[in-house]
Amino acid sequence: MNIKIRKSIKQDSKEVIRLIKELADFEKLDPPDSKAIRNLIKDMYSKNSPVKVIVAETDGRLIGYAFYFYTYSTFLAKKTLYLEDVYVSSDYRKSGVGKMFFKELMKAAKKSKCGRMEWHVLDWNVNAIRFYKNLAAEELKEWKYFRMSL
């Protein structure tokens, strides 16, 4: 299987949205509504957008994506690559796509002189947790995430 990780281009938008809807279904969440989809597409491909999107492609079909952006660590005094979403279609899991994404993300983090990468995972997603631990990622048990909806 010939899989390529590359920067997403505007022509990918329908396929990326299809994959986002797959992720919503997997996580048992409502997918983005039409307004959110329009905003996503605008933000994914806007020149000055802070969000970056890379995709996995095989045989002209997108099979995964990763959304990321940069935050800042005051204690490291360096940027942090924050991975918002990484998703691989179920038929392509365990084929090395996840490792390919993380290799590309690590390259981006090093190129941007980041001190670390961070992301979150649902506590019931044991396969993803196992995958991250196999990458030698550290689970931060003392931190809790909080959210305020606006």
**Residue 38 one-letter amino acid:** R
Return d(Cα 15, Cα 139) in angstroms, integer: 31
**Residue 82 one-letter amino acid:** Y
Contact criterion met (CB below 8 Å) for 80 and 73: yes
Beta bridge partners of 36: none
Return d(Cα 109, Cα 69) in angstroms, integer: 10
Copy the structure tokens of residue 147. 């959210």
Q: Alpha helices, DSSP H only, in the chain? A: 13-26, 34-45, 97-111, 126-134
145 catalytic? Reply is no
Return d(Cα 126, Cα 116) in angstroms, integer: 23
Residues designated catalytic: 132
